[in-house]
Structure formats: structure tokens, C-alpha cells
Chain A
Amino acid sequence: MVLVLALGDLHVPHRAPDLPAKFKSMLVPGKIQHIICTGNLCIKEVHDYLKTLCPDLHITRGEYDEETRYPETKTLTIGQFKLGLCHGHQVIPWGDLDSLAMLQRQLDVDILVTGHTHQFTAYKHEGGVVINPGSATGAYSSITYDVNPSFVLMDIDGLRVVVYVYELIDGEVKVDKIDFKKTTTTTAH
């Protein structure tokens, strides 16, 4: 039972001052085992805050990040799942499923997490899942101003992952969940 927090596109301080208070009150240290962040934090203070939630932090570089040494893409294995991480501005057209699928095949992962569009989506594609956690602060994107703050928490348990989607709609936190089961096991290497 591994809890993985996926979030990104905070754009602090340029487009948003901070995470919404309701999100902050829920995110307490000690519950989450890994954090994967798609990018565009943008400053070090946010990085430090995320580190306090969980020491195992993975970040990829977004185009506005001030820390230049984050990688472009990252892969990690958690339990039976291979996760891939990328900001998404490199994949053109932005948010296009087929292009993202190409990236997923390239990285050879079961779950691909990307951002940049600031809209939550979750697609099942060719045996894998593509998730976009949206923007955790609700910052405006290159495409639209109408953005709800959202992030994703994944509960990986053996061959099954339950994706909890947290969205802030009209000042209230709404939680949904998505079930996904993998059909084959990953060989350890």
C-alpha cells in the first residue's frame, strides 16, 4: 500500500501565491511515501516545502523552473508499476494523446504523468495509463484562464492502482477515484 502524490504546474510565485489552504491542510507529512512533480514549481521554496511532506521527491523540468538541473524526463518503479514523468511542454501538440502515447512507449512505462495543460485528465491507452494532475494552485495556463486547482494521489497496491483525484471546485474539495488494474507483472531488473 504505497501512496504516491502527483502534482505540478504550481507557478509560485509568478502566477499564484501558494497552494490553496484546503489542500495544504490535507497534505501532512508522514502519510505519503513518494512525490512526483511534473514541473513548473518554480522556485526553491516550493521544492523545500514538498521535501517536508516526503523525502522521496522526483521532479522534472518545466519551462519556467528556476532550477535548471532537473531532468527532462524521469522513470521510477514503485511496486509492480513503472511510472514515467515529464513536464509535457516538449510533447507537441500539447496534451495530444497519441503523442503522449509515443512518449510512453519511448519511456516504456505503465503510468505516464505529464502536466503543462493545467487540466486534469486520465486516459487508458494501450495497456497503460496517461495521467495529467492539472495545476495544484489553479494557475492560468498558456491555453486557458479557467483552471481548477487539482492534484492526484495514487494508492499502489500490488497489481492494482487506485487514483484519487482531488479538485477544488467553488471552494470545496471534491474527491473522485479511478481504479486501474495491470494485467501483467513487471520483471525485476
Chain B
Amino acid sequence: MLKNKLKIPDKTRKPFPDRLGSLVIGFDYRDGENAGSDAALEFGEELETIQPNGFGSDREFEEPDDGVEEGRVQDEGPTGGGAAGGGCGGGEPEFRARQRPAREGSVPVSVLEVIAADEKRSDVQYEISQEEINLEKLQRIASKGLPDEGGLRATTWKLLLGYLPPSRNLWEKELSENRLKYAKLKEDLLISPSEFARRKNLDFSPCETEAGSDVDGPLRRHQISQEDHPLSLGKASVWNQYFENTEVAEQIDRDLQRTHPDMKFFSGETAISRRHREAMRNILLLFAKLNPAIRYVQGMNEVLAPLYYVFSTDPNEQNAANAEADSFSCFVRLLGDSVDHFCQQLDNSSVGILSTLSRLSELLKTNDEELWRHLEFTTRVEPQFYAFRWITLLLTQEFSFQSILRIWDSLLGNPFGVQDMLLRVCCAMLLCIKSRLMSGDFIANLKLLQHYPDINIEHLLQVAMDLTPDTSSYRLSL
């Protein structure tokens, strides 16, 4: 048995180079009945703090009854695995069911899955349709993952971010107020100077322009103030500000071209995609103007992308049409906590990115000292080499789009705030590939961490939830 344990990691690595160590061992092969128990033991090796039974307990609404296991549509024989051992066995095949569809889309989804998805959807719908929404309950549901259809995710995210108030009857008022505010902001800050000049002109001399149009002869010259011409170099000039912003605008445009090139929504050449990019451009430009301290930092487009996507794919017509305004407000709220990470001057302060990275280190130390020691001292892979992007971009660059949406469900659903959950997920990411990290040197580890391999997202989030919090430097983020 021991020999098998040592050999299997090597075998697995060859056919599935992007899979992770022992996580997959139990699930890949038609090893038969021992698969389940082997997996259990591997888990014991990898993740000391996790109880295999823990899997079953949280899924109270997904496991209506064990007897349905036989009814599942699957290739290999789960019954053998199911018999492997009590609650643990009950937990594993559940897991397998979830993982199979994630890997091969062609495998039919189990009946259990469909039931679970339906229940989840009705749960969310029920919560949202209350007059006074219980945010805590919603957070708990969100942490388990939100359904993709029906615009439920959009509404839930808006509630969790605090954009929509918990009282349903205030929604109309809040939404229209905010959307109006956004429109006005756009008008004030994003107006082109010619437009601005035209409006000023109309205010002062509406009749003159009409009279001049029919009469031939020398054209009348109007006096203008010194600042009001396109070549003006004055600070207060609308034109000068406009040209200063073109540099930022150009960078934003470049980044937008590169956002999710595999998704037609963002990168297509149709008028709709262009409109989406324009909307995102407006949001980012506005944000840059309103926050002169950080302006625009490369990567903010990635943080905006999931928000905007979720809001504009809302089946509700009105919501989808106003996705730009809603995304702007939610984007501001989301970045509210982490805006300090982008400011270079604050790097070394207690709110800066370095302090957050050290909190991550501490969290890892509390949960798995061996791995921490290996990373910090043996291989000297410091968090700023890999986790900087994880934290500032809220993991948008590490996973596929669907996974990002699922991870963000958990991030937003954490009662202690996005940042807290983010650190937990980062730590879990490290724990889940522990075996590969332990056996790697500086270069191999860095390469692995900077191109994080595909893993089962539900498992990752479960690990994150079960982590011991680091109480030495505990900070309540509300």
C-alpha cells in the first residue's frame, strides 16, 4: 500500500501533466473498488486539517438520500467506491459526480446534480423575493455557489456588495437614483471639449448663431478666454485635461483589447462587443478621473470584466440596459477595500500590499508550517512573486471565467469581507498543490505558482472555508 502511494504520483503526472498530485489519483482511474479508499488516505496525507467527512456535512441540501446513488448515470462503477466506507464513501462519489462534468462536458450530468441545482436556484429565488432580505442567509447560500441562469447571480451580487438595500421596496428608488447619478457623472467628466464648448456657446449666444448662417460676408470673430482653445497649456483648460487623459484612455483601450480574448462578449468585432468595450472604457476612465491618486492600473479591466458580464447578461431588460451604471457602482465598492493595494506609496505601510502578503504568509504558517517553511526558507519563494497578482486582481487571471464567477460567489458571500476570503483562497491554493511544491525547487515552484494548474474549484473553496484563521494579526474587515 505504501509503495503504491509513492508510485502513483509519478504515474499520474505523466498522462495528466496539469493535474495535481494526489487530488486526482483516486478519481482518474478505473482502479476499481480501492479507488475510494485510496483517495481517502491520500487526503489524509495532503490536508491534515480536513476531515473527509466534512464533505458530506455541508451539503445538507444536496444529498437528499443515499439510496439514489445507484440511479446515477456514470461510466465507472461507483458502487464499489460507495461501499468503501460509510460517510467517507458517501462523500467521495458525490465529489466524483461533481468533478466528472467539470472535466468532460460530454458525460451526462447525474440526476442528483440536477436536483441539487434546482434546489439551489429556488433557495436563492426565495431569499431574494423576500420583503426584507436576510443578508446573512444570502451570504451563506452564495458561499456554496450561485446558479448561472435567471439573473440571480446579478441580483445577489448587487445585494452582497451593498448596492441594493436589503429592503425590496427601496430597490426602485435606489436603482434609478444611482443610474441618474452615473449619467450625470459621465456627462460632467467624460464630455469632449468640443461638446463642452458648444454647450457653453448655446448658453451665451443662442440667437447669434442663427442670424449668422444666412448672411454672406466676413465672419464674426468671438472673443474667448485664454484657456478655452485646443492648444491651451493651462491647467484649468478643458482641452488640456482632455489631452492629458488621452494617455490613460489609450492604455485602457489597449488593455480592453486584451481582456478575455477567447470570449466573444469582450473581444468580438460586432457592434455589441464594441459597445461593451466602450461601456467598460467609460467606467474605467471615470474611475481613473475620480481617483487621481491611483488613476488606472493595468489589470483593473480584469476585475471589472466579471462584474460587467454578470450584470449585462441579466435577463431583466432594464437591468441589462443599465449594466454600465450598476457595474460602475459595484466596481467602486469592490475595489473599495483593495484600492490601497494599487497605490505604490502605500506599499510598505500597514494597509499596503506588502502587509497583505505577509498576512498570507502568516495564514499559511498557521495552517501548514511544513509547507510554509519549505516555501519561505528552503526554496525562498516569497509571496510577492506569485501572490501579488492573485490578490490585486482578485484571482481573475488564474482561473477560467466560469471558475472566476464561482470563486467570486464565495468571496462576496463571506461575512468577514472579500479580503478575508481572498487570503483564505490563496492559502488554499497553496495547500492544494502541496505535494508538487514540496518536491520542487525555486524555479519549478515559481513556474507552477505563476501558472496555476486547473483544479476542482469546489474542493479549493471547501479547503479555504475550513482553514484555521490566523488570529495573531486578526483584522476585522467590514
Other-chain residue from B198, B215, B220, B224 in contact with A157 (beta carbon distance below 8 A): B198
B215 to A124, Cβ gap below 8 A? yes
Other-chain residue from A124, A125, A126, A153 in contact with B231 (beta carbon distance below 8 A): A153
Q: What is the interface size of chain B, counting residues whose CB is below 8 A from a CB of the partner?
A: 29
Report if B359 contacts A (CB, 8 A). Answer: no
B231 to A26, Cβ gap below 8 A? yes
A160 to B198, Cβ gap below 8 A? yes
Q: What is the interface size of chain A, counting residues whose CB is below 8 A from a CB of the partner?
A: 32
Known A-B contacts A175-B226, A179-B209, A181-B213; A124 and B219 likewise in contact (beta carbons under 8 Å):
yes
Report if B262 contacts A (CB, 8 A). Answer: no
**Residues of A with C-beta under 8 A to B218:** 121-124
Known A-B contacts A30-B243, A31-B230, A153-B229; A125 and B216 likewise in contact (beta carbons under 8 Å):
yes
Interface string of A78-112 (1 = CB under 8 A from B): 00000000000000000000000000000000000
CB distance from B224 to the nearest CB of A (A): 5
CB-CB contacts below 8 Å: A145-189 with B: 153, 155, 157, 160, 162-166, 175-181, 183
**Residues of A with C-beta under 8 A to B195:** 1, 157
A165 and B215 alpha carbons, distance in the complex (Å): 21
**Residues of A with C-beta under 8 A to B229:** 153, 164, 166, 175, 177
Interface string of B191-216 (1 = CB under 8 A from A): 01111011001000000010011011
**Residues of A with C-beta under 8 A to B217:** 123-125
CB distance from B249 to the nearest CB of A (A): 12
CB distance from B242 to the nearest CB of A (A): 9
A1 to B192, Cβ gap below 8 A? yes
Known A-B contacts A162-B194, A181-B209, A183-B213; A129 and B230 likewise in contact (beta carbons under 8 Å):
no
CB distance from A75 to the nearest CB of B (A): 21
A178 and B222 alpha carbons, distance in the complex (Å): 6
A179 to B222, Cβ gap below 8 A? yes
**Residues of A with C-beta under 8 A to B233:** 25-26
Report if A19 contacts B (CB, 8 A). Answer: no
Query: Residue of B at shortest CB range from A5?
Result: B231
Interface string of B140-170 (1 = CB under 8 A from A): 0000000000000000000000000000000
Query: Residue of A at shortest CB range from B213?
Result: A181
A175 and B194 alpha carbons, distance in the complex (Å): 16
Write the residues of chain B forming the contact surface with A, with a CB cutoff of 8 angstroms: 192-195, 197-198, 201, 209, 212-213, 215-224, 226, 228-233, 243, 246
Known interface pairs A122-B219, A157-B195; 18 further A-B residue pairs with C-beta atoms within 8 A, sorted by A's residue number: A1-B194, A3-B230, A26-B232, A26-B233, A31-B231, A122-B218, A122-B221, A123-B219, A124-B217, A125-B216, A125-B217, A155-B230, A162-B197, A164-B229, A165-B221, A175-B228, A177-B228, A180-B219
10 closest Cβ pairs, A-B complex: A26-B231, A176-B221, A157-B194, A175-B229, A1-B194, A122-B219, A164-B229, A178-B219, A1-B192, A177-B224
Write the residues of chain A forming the contact surface with B, with a CB cutoff of 8 angstroms: 1, 3, 25-28, 30-31, 121-126, 129, 153, 155, 157, 160, 162-166, 175-181, 183
A-B contacts, 30 of them at CB < 8 A, read A1-B194, A1-B195, A26-B233, A30-B243, A30-B246, A31-B243, A121-B218, A122-B221, A123-B216, A123-B218, A124-B218, A125-B217, A129-B219, A155-B194, A155-B230, A157-B195, A164-B229, A164-B231, A165-B221, A166-B229, A175-B224, A175-B226, A175-B229, A177-B224, A177-B228, A179-B209, A179-B222, A181-B209, A181-B213, A183-B213
